[in-house]
């Protein structure tokens, strides 16, 4: 093979370098064949694995009430952004808001390390279209670990069908968040470290520092947030009660509803996905809906889509 042979791989196109580039730019060499490749992309998921392993650093950085409060606050804020905006707004258009608010909550959602808003919405719309069939990207009929994590780490998982979100692709700022989905989480991580280092100097009575806020506020909080979120794929389609006879296996779980701010009323949601409310009955706690109602009262969002009264009365109690 000659030096100038066009069939010879360029040093800049080696698989490991391409995978490394994909950590920072999700559009790099995204081959169409990847859409059907369900193998785990090990090189590409190394940062995700490192995020989990970094939680072990808690043995060195210790714990403080400041760090725990930071972790819980970031869990709650980002969970609301995922459930209220990534899910109910971007995926289902269950209410309306301004372009500025849309972007602000997209940024907060992007900090949860669940990829960009277009990626998230495209996969979720595909899930509803093919729920618990062979074309469902994360049905537990294919096994717990596939529905919980495997699909997210596979090559096909990295490449959603963005034709499903043509309405969202009109916004270049959302496309940017999707393309560079590591930018916001990296900024949050660096900001937490800097904040902790600053607090260690100006408020030593808080007993925290940069490493501790990084581990608790970013690593532990993010890993917990991810695994609680994906229980809706792996558990809420297997365990719980079915009020409505939907075509899929979705179920309601009060425990998952508490942990996910209302997403655990999953059978309700699959019966009428377009509603901003997933806890259809008064006693079904739906924290995300309460937050959306508060934003609506403040004029930040509008036109929350309700559950038709007739639908609420249907199904088993």
DSSP string, 160-214: --GGGGTTTTT-HHHHHHHHTTTHHHHHHHHHHHHHHHHHHHH-GGG---HHHHI
Backbone angles phi, psi at 219, to 5 degrees: -65, -60
Alpha-carbon distances, residue 251 vs 157, 216, 230 (angstroms):
24, 32, 14
Backbone angles phi, psi at 313, to 5 degrees: -80, -15
Token readout for 238 is: 């297997």
Whole-number Å distance between alpha carbons of 218 and 242: 36
Q: Give Cα 138 to chain centroid, integer Å.
A: 14
Q: Are 237 and 265 in contact (CB under 8 A)?
A: no
Parallel/antiparallel/unpaired status of strands 301-302 and 96-97: antiparallel
Whole-number Å distance between alpha carbons of 23 and 137: 22
The burial class, CB within 10 Å (0-12 / 13-18 / 19+), for 87 is buried
Whole-number Å distance between alpha carbons of 78 and 80: 5
pTM of the predicted protein model: 0.92
Residues in the chain predicted with pLDDT less than 70, given as ranges, are: 1-16, 19, 28-36, 312-313, 315-317
Residue 21 burial (CB count, 10 A): 15
> Where in the chain are the domains?
47-114+182-313
Q: Are 9 and 37 in contact (CB under 8 A)?
A: no
Q: What is the pLDDT of residue 141?
A: 95
Q: What is the pLDDT of residue 43?
A: 83
């Amino acid at each position: 093979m000659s030096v100038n042979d066009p069939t010879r791989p360029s040093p800049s196109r080696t698989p490991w370098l391409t995978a490394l580039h994909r950590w920072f730019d999700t559009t790099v060499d995204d081959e169409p064949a990847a859409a059907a490749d369900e193998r785990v992309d090990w090189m590409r998921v190394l940062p995700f694995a490192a995020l989990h392993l970094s939680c072990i650093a808690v043995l060195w950085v210790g714990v403080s009430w400041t760090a725990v409060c930071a972790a819980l606050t970031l869990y709650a804020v980002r969970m609301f952004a995922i459930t209220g905006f990534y899910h109910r707004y971007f995926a289902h258009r269950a209410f309306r808001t301004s372009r500025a608010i849309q972007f602000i909550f997209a940024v907060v959602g992007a900090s949860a390390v669940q990829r960009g808003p277009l990626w998230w919405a495209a996969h979720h719309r595909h899930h509803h279209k093919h729920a618990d069939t062979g074309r469902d990207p994360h049905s537990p009929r294919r096994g717990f670990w596939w529905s919980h994590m495997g699909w997210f780490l596979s090559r096909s998982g990295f490449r959603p069908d963005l034709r499903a979100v043509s309405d969202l692709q009109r916004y270049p700022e959302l496309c940017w968040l999707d393309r560079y989905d590591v930018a916001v989480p990296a900024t949050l991580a660096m900001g937490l470290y800097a904040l902790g280092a600053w607090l260690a100097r100006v408020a030593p009575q808080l007993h925290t520092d940069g490493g501790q806020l990084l581990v608790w506020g970013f690593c532990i909080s993010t890993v917990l947030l991810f695994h609680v979120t994906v229980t809706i794929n792996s558990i809420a389609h297997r365990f719980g009660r079915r009020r409505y006879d939907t075509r899929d296996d979705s179920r309601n779980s009060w425990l998952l509803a508490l942990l996910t701010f209302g997403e655990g009323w999953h059978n309700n949601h699959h019966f009428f996905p377009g509603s901003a409310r997933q806890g259809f009955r008064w006693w079904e706690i739906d924290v995300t809906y309460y937050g959306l109602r508060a934003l609506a009262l403040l004029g930040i969002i509008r036109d929350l889509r309700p559950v038709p009264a007739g639908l609420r009365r249907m199904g088993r109690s």
